[in-house]
């Protein structure tokens, strides 16, 4: 008998029992999800306090960000309802994902991007995947307002995270983390922009904690559970959100008029999932804090240099914030912590190259010169 594992067909297939997937539905998928949970061994050791830090590297989704998780669900549902076009406002990654899934489904994608502030890789994706790219003379929040009005005026599905199907798809990242660890983490750290993702993770962790067929505290451990605390499987993590200082409505306590940050993916002043995100933070006993652009870039570089993980600036904020909070004594010693790295570093090569200014040596095409340059640096 063949024991060959089944082909992985994406998260709607894997978690269909926990998603609004109906029998016979045409699933629009790029085999997204199933991203690695990378143990950050060097950073964990250097952080001390016996912590174990893991990165959920969502940059390894098909279009390079977690937006694929929500988009497979949202576009599948939109196509199911007979929609011929989808629309979104985007700081970049949503438009890349919308364009990809729309292309696959054979429907049109319209994407509204803010003027000038979009990472080049993201723009390239939306363009080559055939989306109609509309650059507005305004920011993300302006785009969001216009998109909502457009959906009232035309038969077109909004695929921003105000679409509840997006969050349904995105909650599967929490499922994967618990499935992988065999337990929930003690803390989950995550960048916060429009605040859909933190809300989706909380939904995912909560749903998994609630399904407890063995009532004896744990829905996931088998009888041979290898984890020393059988009760941990029905716990939920403390949710910790991080925002960029120039774009931190959750820290300010209300919308920010002209959000600014190098982390363009979270350059959002009026987050749409305001209440859901606060519920996640408050119910879990968590907090939201802010990092300066300088701290964000430092974290991006640290992850690349110390762990070989190249994520975009907005993503690195989760690890940068965590390391600061460990130092500040806000994280219990011995904790298991997961951080979402929301998008791939290749999305925004300009920022990475600027960060590494002068890192390229220029010397003559001469072996002795190369030898000198290398031996000096061994
Ligand atoms: C969309 C995005 C975020 C922010 O997620 P929200 O759900 O809007 O809070 C963070 N990082 C990256 C790379 C993103 O694309």
> Ligand 1 atom closest to Cα of 195?
9
Ligand 1 centroid from CA 356, angstroms: 24
Answer whether residue 228 shows pLDDT above 60: no
Torsion of CA 245, 251, 253, 255, to 10 degrees: 30
Mean predicted lDDT score pLDDT of the chain: 92
Higher pLDDT residue, 14 or 220? 14
Question: Ligand 1 pocket test: which of 265, 275, 312, 317 has the largest number of ligand atoms within 8 Å of its C-beta?
Answer: 265
pLDDT tens-digit readout, 152-211:
888 999 999 999 999 999 999 999 999 999 999 999 999 999 999 999 999 999 999 998
Query: Using CA positions, which residue lies closest to atom 13 of ligand 1?
Result: 343
197 Cβ below 6 A of ligand 1: yes
320, 36 contact by CB (below 8 A): no
* Rounded alpha-carbon distances, angstroms, from residue 20 to 76, 116, 166, 333, 365: 10, 37, 11, 39, 60
Q: Is the dihedral of CA 308, 188, 9, 80 positive or negative?
A: negative
The pick from 312, 343, 352 for probing ligand 1's pocket by mutation, whose C-beta has the most ligand atoms within 8 angstroms, reads 343
pLDDT of residue 225: 45
Atom 1 of ligand 1, residue of closest alpha carbon: 265
User: Is 62 near ligand 1, meaning CB less than 6 Å away?
Assistant: no
Residue 178 CB coordination number (10 Å): 22
Task: Give, for 275, the enclosing helix (H) or strand (E).
Answer: helix 274-283
pLDDT (tens digit, 9 = 90+) per residue, 40-92?
Answer: 999 999 999 999 999 999 999 999 999 999 999 999 999 999 999 999 999 99
The set of long-range contacts for 326-329, using a CB threshold of 8 Å and a minimum separation of 24, is: 326/47, 326/48, 326/49, 326/51, 327/47
Among 197, 248, 315, which residue has the most ligand 1 atoms within 8 Å of its CB, making it the best to mutate?
197
Strand 52-57 and strand 37-39: the pairing is antiparallel
- % of the chain residues with pLDDT over 70: 93
Task: Give pTM, 2 decimals.
Answer: 0.93
Q: What is the 3-state secondary structure (H, E, C) of 180-204?
A: HHCCCCCEEEEECCCCHHHHHHHHH
Q: In this structure, are residues 308 and 36 in contact, taking their beta carbons and an 8 Å threshold?
A: no
Q: Is the CB of 247 under 6 A from ligand 1?
A: no
Q: Which of 11, 10, 16, 17 is nearest to 213 (CA)?
A: 17
């Amino acid at each position: 008998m063949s024991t060959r594992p089944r082909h992985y067909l994406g998260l709607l297939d894997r978690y269909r029992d926990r998603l609004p997937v109906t029998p016979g539905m045409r699933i629009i998928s790029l085999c997204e999800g199933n991203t690695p949970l990378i143990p950050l061994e060097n950073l964990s050791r250097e952080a001390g306090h016996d912590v174990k830090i893991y990165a959920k590297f969502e940059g390894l989704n098909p279009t390079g960000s977690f937006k694929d998780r929500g988009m497979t669900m949202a576009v599948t549902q939109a196509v199911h309802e007979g929609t011929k076009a989808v629309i979104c406002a985007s700081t970049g990654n949503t438009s890349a994902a919308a364009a990809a899934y729309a292309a696959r489904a054979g429907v049109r994608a319209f994407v509204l991007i803010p003027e000038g502030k979009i990472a080049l890789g993201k723009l390239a994706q939306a363009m080559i995947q055939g989306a109609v790219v509309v650059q507005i003379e305004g920011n993300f929040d302006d785009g969001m307002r216009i998109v909502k009005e457009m959906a009232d005026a035309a038969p077109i599905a909004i695929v921003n995270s105000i679409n509840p199907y997006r969050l349904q798809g995105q909650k599967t990242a929490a499922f994967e983390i618990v499935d992988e660890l065999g337990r929930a983490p003690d803390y989950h750290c995550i960048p916060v922009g429009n605040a859909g993702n933190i809300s989706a993770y909380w939904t995912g962790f909560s749903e998994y904690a609630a399904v407890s067929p063995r009532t004896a505290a744990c829905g996931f451990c088998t009888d041979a559970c290898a984890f020393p605390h059988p009760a941990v499987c029905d716990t939920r993590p403390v949710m910790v959100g991080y925002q960029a200082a120039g774009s931190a409505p959750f820290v300010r306590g209300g919308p920010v008029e002209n959000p600014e940050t190098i982390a363009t993916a979270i350059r959002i002043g009026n987050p749409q999932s305001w209440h859901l995100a606060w519920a996640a933070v408050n119910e879990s006993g968590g907090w939201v804090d802010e990092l300066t652009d300088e701290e964000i870039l430092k974290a991006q570089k640290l992850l690349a240099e110390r762990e070989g993980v190249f994520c975009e600036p907005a993503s690195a904020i989760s690890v940068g914030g965590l390391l600061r909070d460990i130092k500040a004594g806000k994280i219990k010693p011995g904790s298991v912590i997961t951080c979402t790295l929301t998008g791939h570093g290749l999305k925004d090569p300009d920022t990475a190259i600027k960060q590494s200014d002068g890192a390229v040596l220029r010397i003559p095409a001469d072996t002795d010169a190369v030898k000198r340059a290398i031996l000096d640096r061994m």
